[in-house]
Structure 1
């Protein structure tokens, strides 16, 4: 949390005193109080990433008149017990919330705050704890909503490298080693390619008894199902380049509390500390200051009812209101140098055939399209944009295609090619289809939400593949579970470019600029 001076904090001007460490039902807990008689509203952060890393954040909250509490979740760092990710956070969080409200320095008002897994802790407290333990407001940044939500895409396809990296670093251990997967890949570059995927712990050289549980869980959307019944204000914070971007937007959209605010910028999972290539200086938001001001307004009841917020338009300096959305826009896409290209529009385009071979899967690393060797993807390209184009809202791909295997994943990667030829990934989407081999069918691949200004001269490149490895697990094409499969088959594909439709959301006029702080605090 950044810590510039901020006026109007709940406890008035305050100078923080020393942090003290205690235990709450055995869990290691740091408490930082503002100077003064109190009582104070309290901020609670429950984390598996070491409470001691939040010292500056606690000091920042205390300087603004909040009591600030950081706690190691069960089985992590200073807290004893068994570490079972996503298993104990509701009851442990409820016990801590009741303990806080019973302290003489607490005025009873509580804000649950967290990023990533810590956001899961805040949300379970808000949505699943008994009423006397629920917070009065929630700040959830890049929220990991649950084990099933983090392990799979909304369409069910397995996220491999991020889950393997997280479990290697944090799973079934009291401390963390963020380099664990990198070290395993250095020793064995094919560690993620060995079958079955359930054997990954052996490749890492240590036990991971919770690894199979990751893939047995199919309760995706459990927390989101509770969101309409929320009773407190929400501030949801996300990044366009974060792998939980869709979950952040869905949480904001479905929240049933008295108010919900969304702040989404051109950032990765680290938010302002991880700006994307399309970030501008105007997107460097002082999140700590904004969090404190929003929390004060939420506790004071001065936020307007309903949903509001601000979304940054990457590639420009603009912020727009979160409810602004473009109109359907269908760019023309054809195979490079194909008959029927813009220079020869009256000739037909033949079907595109390629082979999705899990032994040689299309790579998720980099944006290079292989020039030689077997064709492993369908590539379609648009003409250069005659003028700038602002994309704001959902994107999707409509396909008419077939595969010769009973199971097939269809990945779509959308890339912006600048006038200088450099590429920038805009979106990746995927669906899994189970159909009789050889049957041609129409279906949609969702590509998430875009918030991006494209300059004149930009071309759009669409790649359609059968794999996106190692970001996602390989479909073995046999109909078996990709996590337990031990046999792989190549899958021959055919796509009709003439009926392929990329549908974007484009603004017809330049968007009205807004100030993110004004949108969040109104």
Structure 2
């Protein structure tokens, strides 16, 4: 393999070429996480016949300039793409590839309406895509994703390098770090300047890239994990994609994909992603993919794969209230996102309901939603719903969670639906489903001040007393109507 380092538009860029004579199709990876960490990945692409270009984005690691997350990637990527097309080792084709923030870099290249067709890629692979600042900062309902964003900004924000342990070290020194108010003062408590932190919460263009995806004119491979906090964005991107073909691979993984399997992952879910990516890239570049949306999703707990689009039927589960039909969402004692233990004494902090044990195995595949009628004695209230599987083996496993923000007159009962996203999970006989309805999901999400003030800028939080009508609560799953017919995920991706 031939290796060289370049300065493309002033940005530090590594080029890895196959040993065989060229020219070659190219793979472009633009990353804020240090291009040298991608050498093994680049070697893998080169062994499979692709020239691989890996670049530090502006202001990160060896690339000069000011690091402004999500701001310069389309322009800098287009310049780099133009350079690739002019190189003697490139055969005129390239694929934009990336995971997380690097997936954003790949997607803005593919969807940049200001770029010429010559500069846009011929195909794109977007794994666990962080679609944009607004998309990563908030849930679709507008609720702030506190812990994940604090961790990312502490590690990577407004600095040229990274410190992955920055938030953990700060929490070890100050366990209440994320509870301090207002949240805009987080940089001061971290002890360093983070000028872009406050601006993050002012971004309101969530969904911009997904909307642009409808106008795409090239193939897409979207890869995600059921346990990744960007799973819904990954599916939305795939569903919306307007290119000639779109493929989805959704496994029982976290943000690091196969390196972070969930408790429901089995041997069948350990895929060689590098080989799969390269095989898909060859087909995409030669027009060998069947038009339309196809793909595969893992059935967690079932050790098999299903088509990405699988016919299901809605199934409403009966729920019995255990306690907390009247509860207090107290900001000093919020329901924790990192704990599944439910307190049994004191003033209830959530409404708790449970289903009877399942009398047969159930394959739940598709969206989960909760419908309820409830009220709060505060003008603004968040409603968090968490679904937990209580297995016959006495373990508790989180299946889905979502949080919805509502503005209602005090004590006015309203009927509403909380969408908990998609699951693909086999539930064994004897499993009970526990549904928690709470006012907080902290520290994953910021606490609502219950005053109508902005949660990021609020310096005062009030308790909120809630009432839930237990007879109104319905839990709807989508289930397979018959035994599943497994598929080979590679065949579905490469069809």
TM interval, shorter chain, is over 0.9
1:59 to 37, 43, 51: 43
Note the C-alpha offset of 1:359: 1.7
Q: In structure 2, the residue corresponding to 1:213 is in which secondary structure?
A: helix
SS at match of 1:192: helix
- Measured in 2, the distance between the counterparts of 1:449 and 1:430 equals 14
Tell me if the contact between 1:325 and 1:505 (Cα under 8 Å) persists in the aligned partners: no
Contact 1:395/1:448 (CA < 8 Å) preserved in 2?
yes
What does residue 328 of structure 1 align with? 314
2:30 to 46, 49, 52: 46
Q: In structure 1, what is the equivalent of residue 60 of structure 2? A: 76
Superposition deviation, residue 360 in structure 1: 1.3
Match of 2:210 in 1: 224
Q: Which moved more, 1:379-388 or 1:33-42?
A: 33-42
> In the alignment, is residue 130 of structure 1 matched against residue 115 of structure 2?
yes
Distance in 1, matches of 2:46 and 2:335, equals 50
Mapped pair 1:104 → 2:88: yes
Report if the CA contact (8 A) 1:45-1:112 is conserved: yes
Correspondence for 1:85: 69
In the alignment, which residue of structure 1 is the partner of 2:427?
454
1:272 aligns with 2:245: no
- Render the CA deviation track for 1:295-320: whole Å, top value 9, x for unaligned: 00000001000000000000011100
Moved over 2 A (4+): none
8 A contact 2:2–2:19 mirrored in 1: no
Separation in structure 2 between the aligned mates of residue 443 and residue 513 of structure 1, nearest angstrom: 36
Instruction: Within 5 Å, give how 1:464-475 maps onto structure 2.
Output: 464-475=437-448
1:399 corresponds to which residue? 372
TM, length-normalised to structure 2: 0.99
Normalising by structure 1, report the TM-score.
Answer: 0.94
In structure 1, C-alpha distance between the alignment counterparts of 2:52 and 2:307, rounded to whole Å: 31
Q: Is the CA contact (8 Å cut-off) linking 1:408 and 1:434 kept in structure 2?
A: yes
Task: For 2:446 and 2:339, locate their aligned partners in 1 and report how far apart those are by CA, in whole Å.
Answer: 17
Mapped pair 1:117 → 2:90: no
SS at match of 2:64: coil
Report the RMSD for the aligned CA atoms in angstroms: 0.8
Q: Which whole-Å deviations, capped at 9, do the CAs of 1:45-72 have from their partners, x for residues lacking one?
A: 0000000001011111111111001000
Alpha-carbon contact 2:312-2:366 (below 8 Å) kept: yes
Unaligned runs of 5+ in 2: none
> For residue 184 of structure 2, what is the aligned residue in structure 1?
198
Q: State whether residues 397 and 446 of structure 1, in contact with CA within 8 Å, keep that contact through their aligned partners in structure 2.
A: yes
Give the 5 Å matches for 1:124-163: 124-128=108-112, 129-131=114-116, 132-163=118-149
Contact 2:155 2:167 in 1 (8 A): yes
Match of 1:345 in 2: none
- The count of residues paired between Structure 1 and Structure 2 equals 493
After TM superposition, the structure 1 = structure 2 runs for residues 101-500 of structure 1, keeping only pairs within 5 Å, are: 101-128=85-112, 129-131=114-116, 132-336=118-322, 352-500=325-473
Q: CA offset at residue 372 of structure 1?
A: 1.4
**1:10 maps to which residue?**
none
1:9 corresponds to = none
For residue 36 of structure 1, report the CA deviation from its aligned partner. Answer: 2.7
- For structure 1, the residue ranges without an aligned partner over 5 or more in a row are 1-16, 339-350
* CA drift at 1:430: 1.1
Shift of 1:37: 2.6
SS at match of 1:307: strand
Distance 2:2 2:332 in 1: 57
The separation in 2 between residues aligned to 1:292 and 1:120, in whole angstroms, is 20
Distance 2:412 2:320 in 1: 23
Q: State the secondary structure of the residue aligned to 1:44.
A: strand
Q: Secondary structure at the match of 1:328?
A: strand
Query: Of residues 30, 34, 39 in structure 1, which corresponds to 2:14?
Result: 30
SS in 1 for 2:179: coil
CA distance in 2, matches of 1:416, 1:40: 50
> Corresponding residue for 1:94?
78
Alignment of 1:521 with 2:494, yes or no, is: yes
1:158-199: CA deviations, max 9, x gaps?
000000000000000000000100111111111100000000
